[in-house]
Chain A
Amino acid sequence: MSVELSSPDLKTDEMIINMGPQHPATHGVLRLILTLDGEICKHVEPVLGHLHRAQEWQGQNRTWFQYQALIDRVDYLSGMYTSWAMARAAEQIDGLVVPKRAEYLRVILSEMNRITSHLLWLGTYLIDLGAMFGFPFYPFREREKLFDLFEEVAGQRMMFNYIRIGGVLRNPPFGWFDKLKRFTDEFPDRIDEYEAIVTENPIFLKRTKGVGILKKETAMAYGVTGPCIRASGIPLDLRKTKPYSVYPELDFKVQTMDGDGDTWARYMCRIREMRESNEIIRQAIEKIPGGTTEELRKLLGTTGPEKDESKDLDPSFLLMAKKQNAGLRVKAGEGFAAVESPRGTIGCYVISNGSDKAYRFKWRNPSFCNLSVLPELLVGAPIADIMAIFGSIDVILPDVDR
């Protein structure tokens, strides 16, 4: 007696499986309660909150000055952007105009941060897909170079504490811009290398093409932002659609993908964004007021940082619009600012009551909104594709739970 496995009258039981919270591919701790029918996922329930650190509450209980150091930890792969969102919100309340040089430094370092974030995603995503043949560590080679540059200017590799309310912390050291320029020259070749291995690889295509299709309408309904929505064909990029900082002065394109926004499109979108970020950095180095640190110091006639904030300096060469000290205060008022992070729109809403602590913080985190679309993508997918899809939307769990 034999049974047709695909026979419609064969009765199967639904099975509930917990994926996570300590699943290695969840980039943090996320628990997915999967209801499976055989191999096919019928229902998904993400359980959040394992990494909740009360970031908003802490913002209300620490002074502005102290919170600046903490805020990099919200999204630890792209710390520049959370700092930037908070700094912009506070500057909005205070009515500060950030000096041009500081804005350029912000753009350069955040675009570097975008590249490191995408590189980490690329490496780990390939591991999620099971590609262990040496490849995952290629992106880490470039990432390491960028981290060395971050270390020189900000002091740490990931928790920068560099973007401050009113400007940036310090000028890069001597030789830094040259190193960065060398990096931007060689980086496109490195991306070609990744692409040679991955982009057209038949196994990779089989795992990603047509998998996890995110339709435009669904993406819009769930408030998906970042590369995920651009891969679905919607050119939503705050750097272009709602320009801030010095992005209007820089020439770059929003990378969108035609087609239905499958996993492969999201991969490709990120690869293209890395190339675009590289271009932005290159232009910003050319355009930065005051030029490299060497040129600026020559202008000032010093070799040290002591005159960086001097009064007779061209105001656009300054680093800070406001003096940073422990008693940093922000005027009473409300402000909202959003920046385009590697994962999407980071929004920061602040109410200040004029004291040295904020009255209320509210964060809009891209990972949270992007994660909410996950059940739509997973239902109907086989269990082997779950990590391929989950990895492709690139959420970072500390950012989801805050």
Chain B
Amino acid sequence: MFALVGRSIESLYQVARGLKTVFKHTVRPPITKNFPDDMPDLPGHFRGRLALAVNPQTSEHLCISCLQCERVCPDKCIQITSHKSPETNKPELIEFKIDHGLCMFCGLCTEVCPTSCIINTNDFEMADYTRESLVYDLKRLTLSQDESAHYFAKKELPMPKPKPPKPAAKPAAPAAAAKPAEDKPEAKPEVKAEAKPQDLPAAPAPESPKKEEQ
């Protein structure tokens, strides 16, 4: 009988101890965040949506069509179309497609890219209505100059080497001048997409900046 009473008191004490902790927590401020209003502060190495960076200084496209990323991708979701430029005899980018519906965001393509062209952005809100719209083409993938500068700094990537002193007067200037005022680096995807057309002519620069191995 005494044992039973003793046990009951002990149990009640333990329950009360637990409840005390619980109630203490009911009055503290919430630890969760209001997501859409309160965007998380993502670290630079966060592996989000893939994008193609341009040279933050000159705004020329960094991709040299080496196809390393296409080859290394475990899911085979990158598709690159390029051709040999008749003038410079170097590969020239025509189309670049990434199927984000297949991508597993492993980041391997960004690791092998020799020019740090393909990068993982901090953008993760990619929900869409159709599977086709998850396939991003060159236009939607290419970042603006400001965004590229933002990510190059945030990811501590080495800046692309300046172009060799060849007759390289024209490629950068017109595109940079024609560029409209950009939004903030973390602009929404639609903004990126429509801000791009001016970049395209400049992208396959007549003289590719580097000696490729292909």
Residues on A lying within 8 angstroms of B by beta carbon are: 62-63, 65-67, 69-70, 133-135, 138, 141, 144, 151-156, 159, 161, 170, 173, 193, 196-198, 200-202, 304-306, 324-326
Residue of A nearest to B17 (CB): A196
> Could you tell me if B18 and A197 are in contact, using CB atoms closer than 8 angstroms?
yes
Contacts of A324 in B (CB 8 A): 111
Distance, CA A62 to CA B42, complexed state (A): 31
- Which has the most chain A C-beta neighbours within 10 Å: B31, B42, B106? B106
Contacts of B15 in A (CB 8 A): 201-202
- Name 25 interchain pairs, CB-CB below 8 A, sorted by A: A63-B72, A69-B108, A133-B22, A134-B25, A151-B46, A155-B107, A155-B120, A156-B46, A156-B105, A159-B105, A161-B107, A173-B45, A193-B21, A196-B18, A196-B21, A197-B17, A197-B18, A197-B21, A202-B14, A304-B156, A305-B156, A306-B158, A324-B111, A325-B112, A326-B112
> Could you tell me if B107 and A200 are in contact, using CB atoms closer than 8 angstroms?
no
> Could you tell me if B18 and A201 are in contact, using CB atoms closer than 8 angstroms?
yes
Residue of A nearest to B111 (CB): A324
Contact residues of A: prevailing secondary structure? helix
Contacts of A138 in B (CB 8 A): 25
If A201-B18, A326-B71, A326-B72 touch, whether A159 touches B25 (CB-CB below 8 Å) is no
> Could you tell me if A200 and B14 are in contact, using CB atoms closer than 8 angstroms?
yes
> Could you tell me if B44 and A173 are in contact, using CB atoms closer than 8 angstroms?
yes
> Could you tell me if A156 and B156 are in contact, using CB atoms closer than 8 angstroms?
no
Which of A70, A151, A193 has a CB less than 8 Å from the CB of B74?
A70
CB interface residues, B 100-127, toward A, < 8 Å: 104-108, 111-112, 120
Distance, CA A198 to CA B44, complexed state (A): 39
A86 CB, nearest partner CB in chain B, Å: 15
Contacts of B31 in A (CB 8 A): 141, 144
B212 CB, nearest partner CB in chain A, Å: 16
Contacts of A170 in B (CB 8 A): 45
Distance, CA A282 to CA B42, complexed state (A): 25
A151 CB, nearest partner CB in chain B, Å: 6
**Residue tally, chain B, CB below 8 Å to A:** 31
> Could you tell me if A197 and B22 are in contact, using CB atoms closer than 8 angstroms?
yes
> Could you tell me if A159 and B22 are in contact, using CB atoms closer than 8 angstroms?
no
> Could you tell me if A202 and B22 are in contact, using CB atoms closer than 8 angstroms?
no
A185 CB, nearest partner CB in chain B, Å: 18
Distance, CA A306 to CA B159, complexed state (A): 11
Contacts of A161 in B (CB 8 A): 106-108
B68 CB, nearest partner CB in chain A, Å: 6
B45 CB, nearest partner CB in chain A, Å: 4
If A155-B120, A326-B71 touch, whether A198 touches B43 (CB-CB below 8 Å) is no
Contacts of A198 in B (CB 8 A): 18
Distance, CA A159 to CA B31, complexed state (A): 24
A171 CB, nearest partner CB in chain B, Å: 10
Contacts of B21 in A (CB 8 A): 193, 196-197
Is B57 engaged at the interface, CB distance under 8 Å to the other chain?
no
Distance, CA A394 to CA B14, complexed state (A): 26
Chain B 65-89, CB within 8 Å of chain A: the 1/0 string? 0001001101000000000000000
Distance, CA A297 to CA B18, complexed state (A): 46
Chain B 10-25, CB within 8 Å of chain A: the 1/0 string? 0100110110111001
Distance, CA A62 to CA B72, complexed state (A): 10
Contacts of A69 in B (CB 8 A): 74, 104, 106-108
Distance, CA A62 to CA B73, complexed state (A): 10
Residue of B nearest to A170 (CB): B45
Distance, CA A198 to CA B17, complexed state (A): 10
Residue of A nearest to B44 (CB): A173
B56 CB, nearest partner CB in chain A, Å: 15
> Could you tell me if B108 and A65 are in contact, using CB atoms closer than 8 angstroms?
yes
If A133-B22, A197-B18, A325-B112 touch, whether A65 touches B72 (CB-CB below 8 Å) is yes
A137 CB, nearest partner CB in chain B, Å: 9
Contacts of A135 in B (CB 8 A): 22
> Could you tell me if B72 and A66 are in contact, using CB atoms closer than 8 angstroms?
yes
Contacts of A201 in B (CB 8 A): 14-15, 18
> Could you tell me if B74 and A152 are in contact, using CB atoms closer than 8 angstroms?
no
CB interface residues, B 17-49, toward A, < 8 Å: 17-18, 20-22, 25-26, 31, 42-47
Distance, CA A69 to CA B108, complexed state (A): 8
Distance, CA A239 to CA B68, complexed state (A): 39
A14 CB, nearest partner CB in chain B, Å: 37
Distance, CA A106 to CA B123, complexed state (A): 28
B126 CB, nearest partner CB in chain A, Å: 15
If A161-B106, A326-B68 touch, whether A155 touches B46 (CB-CB below 8 Å) is yes
Chain B 167-181, CB within 8 Å of chain A: the 1/0 string? 000000000000000
Contacts of B111 in A (CB 8 A): 324
A62 CB, nearest partner CB in chain B, Å: 6
Distance, CA A198 to CA B25, complexed state (A): 15
> Could you tell me if B107 and A151 are in contact, using CB atoms closer than 8 angstroms?
no
If A155-B45, A306-B158 touch, whether A134 touches B22 (CB-CB below 8 Å) is yes
A303 CB, nearest partner CB in chain B, Å: 8
What would 16 more interface pairs be, CB under 8 Å, given A69-B106, A197-B18, A326-B72? A69-B74, A69-B107, A134-B22, A135-B22, A138-B25, A151-B46, A156-B46, A161-B106, A161-B108, A173-B43, A196-B20, A197-B21, A200-B17, A201-B15, A202-B15, A326-B71
